[in-house]
Amino acid sequence: MGHQTVVYGSIEVFQSSDVPGADARTDEALMRLPEIDEWPFLTRSMFSVTPPGYGPHGSYLYRVISFGASYKAVEWEWAEWLLKFERLLASLDFTYARVHLETELVGKHTYIWDGHSDDGKKISPDHWQFSGGPRTFSD
């Protein structure tokens, strides 16, 4: 029997009303995720997104992508999982993302990416503000 790790969080993405084409890029990025992935997996079924537009079934300022999965000790491949997640972020017009990592072996950690720009334009990954727990646990 292994040790369970739970990974969950959210990504706030711009809507097309603020950034033209953002809704289509969000939907396309999520559809490009594999249905089956190599370990450590990051698959389409892990993600759900609110519909575009403000209203009873939409979103106020940003669309919210929520995600979650249960793994067997993914913390030992955590750096690789983060790279896969950051590739997804790079394909989105996101403003803020948070990942919660809850493990039996190395405790609880929160990771935050701030992709906000003052002019509402997409910024490159080298300008993201990143904070949070360790990027690797294998040392």
**Helix, strand, coil share of the chain (percent; to 5):** 25, 30, 45
Asked if residues 42 and 33 have their Cβ atoms less than 8 Å apart, the reply is: yes
pLDDT in tens, 58-100: 778 889 999 999 999 999 999 999 999 999 999 999 999 999 9
DSSP character string of 81-116: HHHHHHHHHHTS-EEEEEEEEEESSS-EEEEEEE--
pLDDT in tens, 91-132: 999 999 999 999 989 999 999 999 877 666 677 888 889 999
pLDDT in tens, 14-73: 988 888 899 999 999 999 999 999 999 999 999 999 888 777 677 788 899 999 999 999
